[in-house]
């Protein structure tokens, strides 16, 4: 089976600064894969490279079996700040990807309310981003990404800037949506707990230049909710394993 996303021996430099170092990563179709790693190691760079927003200097990234040369079809991204346009309403922000894709007015009119409902924003369509909470902005960013029906969803620390309680609610909402839609997801976070709660596989990256230092399978059954995952007998073990790998990644040999 073709992987949804495949990185083969990917390296990247910024003006002589080595950021990605022989990264190999495979995201199976329909899997939820989360990347954790120290701040500044190259996680966003890797995600941007997958989205075709930046090139790589060596190796190859494939989405749906095709080498990424520019922004590939079927890939949508959710950014750390919501990435919403402040001059557009929540409705128009969610519609944006569909408008850019040249979908008909009729299709847009049918699709947007459906996704606004999915992320629990019904009733807030006419408000502007500054008029809603951070959690609601992230929901709108997710709805905008999902509305184009991507085959691969890239999420870069989407919940990093919301408070802990809201984050828990958003985790459960994302789990519910994902369990229904089964998109292939690459999710970036620096939170081990967030990684375990959401993913099938946790990928640990080293500090810069980022290499993949380990993969941890999260063998906790679905459907999941944040509290049931945290209460699962496997949770502590998996968490410990992540910590160990992340510690190794932080303190690995100086280049
Ligand atoms: N456009 C750029 N130009 C130069 N350096 C960059 C650029 N983007 C990122 N970097 C550098 O690459 C490294 C990795 O950044 P990033 O991928 O954002 O890390 P992370 O998302 O893991 O925190 C950092 O040292 C950062 O300063
Ligand atoms: Mg980042």
Per-run averaged pLDDT (10 residues), the chain, 255 residues: 92 95 96 94 96 96 96 92 93 96 95 95 97 95 94 95 91 94 94 96 94 96 96 97 89 58
- 76 C-beta closer than 6 A to ligand 1: no
pLDDT value at residue 2: 80
Domain ranges of the chain: 1-70+152-255, 75-149
CB 30 within 8 A of CB 171: no
The residues, ordered by sequence, that sit 6+ positions from 233 with a Cβ below 8 Å of its Cβ are none
Cα of 20 vs centre of ligand 2, distance in Å, is 13
Interacting residues of 148 by C-beta distance below 8 A, sequence separation 6+: 76, 97, 98, 101
One CATH from 3.40.50.300, 3.20.20.80, 3.60.15.10, 3.40.630.10 for 1-70+152-255: 3.40.50.300
Q: Is the CB of 45 under 6 A from ligand 1?
A: yes
Query: Among 10, 17, 34, 42, which is best to mutate for testing ligand 1, by the most ligand atoms less than 8 A from CB?
Result: 42
DSSP codes, 159-221 = TTTS-HHHHHHHHHHHHHHHHHH--EEEEEES-HHHHHHH-SEEEEEPSSSB-EEEEEE----
- Would you say the pTM of this structure is higher than 0.85? yes
- What pLDDT does residue 255 have? 47
Determine how many CB atoms are found less than 10 A away from the CB of residue 141: 25
* Signed CA dihedral, 210, 212, 214, 216: sign only: positive
Q: Name the residue among 1, 62, 34, 57 with its Cα closest to residue 202.
A: 34
- The response to whether residue 43 sits with its C-beta less than 6 Å from ligand 1 reads yes
Distance in angstroms (rounded) separating the CA atoms of residues 13 and 22? 11
């Amino acid at each position: 089976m073709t992987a949804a996303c495949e990185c083969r021996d990917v390296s990247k430099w910024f003006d002589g600064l080595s950021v990605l170092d022989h990264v190999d990563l495979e995201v199976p179709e329909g899997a939820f894969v989360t990347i954790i790693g120290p701040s500044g190691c190259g996680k966003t760079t890797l995600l941007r490279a997958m989205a075709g927003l930046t090139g790589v200097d060596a190796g190859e990234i494939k989405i749906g079996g095709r080498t990424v040369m520019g922004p590939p079809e079927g890939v949508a991204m959710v950014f750390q700040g919501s990435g919403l346009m402040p001059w557009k309403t929540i409705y128009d922000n969610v519609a944006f990807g569909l408008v850019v894709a040249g979908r008909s007015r009729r299709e847009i009119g049918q699709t947007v309310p459906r996704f606004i409902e999915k992320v629990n924003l019904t009733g807030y369509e006419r408000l502007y981003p500054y008029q809603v909470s951070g959690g609601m902005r992230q929901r709108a960013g997710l709805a905008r990404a999902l509305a184009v029906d991507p085959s691969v969803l890239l999420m870069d620390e989407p919940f990093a800037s919301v408070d802990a309680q809201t984050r828990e609610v958003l985790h459960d909402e994302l789990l519910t949506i994902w369990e229904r839609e089964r998109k292939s997801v690459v999710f970036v976070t620096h939170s081990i707990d967030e990684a375990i709660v959401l993913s099938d596989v946790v990928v640990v990256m080293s500090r810069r230049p980022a290499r993949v230092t380990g993969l941890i399978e999260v063998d906790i059954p679905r459907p999941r909710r944040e509290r049931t995952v945290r209460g699962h007998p496997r949770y502590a073990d998996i968490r410990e394993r992540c910590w160990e790998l992340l510690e190794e990644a932080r303190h690995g040999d100086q280049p």
